[in-house]
Amino acid sequence: MLTIKDKKRYSRHILLDEVGELGQQKLKNAHVLVIGCGGLGCPVLQYLAAAGIGQLGIIDDDRVDVSNLQRQILFTENHAGALKVEAAKEVLTRLNSQLKIETYPTRLSADNALDLFAKYDVIVEGSDSFSTKYLANDAAVLTNKPLVFGSIFKFEGQVSVFNYKNGPTYRCVYPEPVSEAEMPTCSEVGVLGILPGIIGMFQANEVLKIILDLGNVLSGKLLIYNSLEASQILLPFAKNEAIKISELIELDLSCTIPSIPEIDYSAYAEAKEIYFLVDVREQEEREHFSLGGLHIPLKELLANPQVLAAQENLVLYCASGKRSAVGVKALIEHFPLKKIVNLKGGVSAVIFTES
């Protein structure tokens, strides 16, 4: 039941015929789980808490870093080093003391996903990991929960609702997982802090629509928002009935490719002259900062490794060492006799070491 305080607090919701007291009661009764308390999770949680979603779950094992503050708007400088889920709970409780907030300072995994999802009505995906997105999708299908999906890359964001009333899923749009090593993260390519805010608010809006049974839920449609053009398109997609999910398998799309030979920057710098340096990043990343060397973006290198046939003692680098590890692996397969190594931590490690 809504209390007198609730009725005052949510009066602007209740005034809407489409919401009313009944709708606000539905929000109060709702259980929503947010995966990832980062750029997307923060705005989602802030709006859901303000809207009066009664029970919120937050899962994330990460701690607040100062570089998060530019977009992870629940956190303040004082939270640096704190567990994100605890910092978020503290802030959200100050915003709305009536909420029940459950925190899970761990990563979503094949071991915990089904039990966790079972406790919630709606799941929001706000991680920055493809394996987590596939895992959340499959767990949503197996537990029959709607999954409110969001993702961002540079200036563009995507939103959709998967498995809504048995509708299409993430795998219907993206059947083939990409290797995370080939997809750089915010810490590698950067992001304008406002974009995850916009996409997170689209996600929060879908959560309310699902709970209140309002409007057209973004099921079977992928909303693509371009922040530079201030434009958006809706791409329709259908359910692929051939895709069957019967168990949870955690995909290993991770960037850490085992047994890739590495060199750290100081060792490389001491003997630069004996190495042939190759930058596998994209042009715009190189314009921003470069360690020099020959520039061959990863895709081009994978398409034509022969371009390095004449070089010896190769050192490959990218922003964090993930994409270059993919390049090193491919080159070793192509030139088994050559010495080919990865620059550990990529450009980020160099900037960090030298700052």
Ligand X SMILES: Nc1ncnc2c1ncn2[C@@H]1O[C@H](COP(=O)(O)OP(=O)(O)OP(=O)(O)O)[C@@H](O)[C@H]1O
Tell me whether residue 55 or residue 185 sits nearer to ligand X (CB atom): 185
Residue 20, sorted as left (phi over 0), alpha (psi -120 to 50) or beta, turns out to be left
Tell me whether residue 52 or residue 196 sits nearer to ligand X (CB atom): 196
Query: What x-and-dash track marks residues 267-306 binding ligand X by CB under 6 A?
Result: ----------------------------------------
**Rounded Cα gap, residues 5 and 64, in angstroms:** 34
Query: What x-and-dash track marks residues 110-149 binding ligand X by CB under 6 A?
Result: -----------------xxx--x-----------------
Give which of 258, 199, 188 is closest to 225, Cα–Cα: 199
Residue position matching structure tokens 């997170």 = 200
Tell me whether residue 28 or residue 145 sits nearer to ligand X (CB atom): 145
Report long-range pairs for 237-246 (Cβ below 8 Å, ≥24 apart). Answer: 237/168, 237/172, 237/173, 238/168, 238/172, 239/167, 239/168, 239/169, 239/172, 240/168, 240/171, 240/172, 240/175, 243/169, 243/171, 243/172, 243/175, 245/138, 245/141, 245/142, 245/169, 245/171
Query: What x-and-dash track marks residues 247-266 binding ligand X by CB under 6 A?
Result: --------------------
Interaction of residue 226 with ligand X, rule CB under 6 A: no
DSSP state of 2: -
Beta carbon of residue 2, minimum distance to ligand X (angstroms, whole number): 33
Tell me whether residue 153 or residue 276 sits nearer to ligand X (CB atom): 153
Beta carbon of residue 57, minimum distance to ligand X (angstroms, whole number): 11
- Residues lying near ligand X in the complex (CB under 6 A): 35-39, 59-60, 62, 67-68, 72, 84, 107-108, 127-129, 132, 185-187
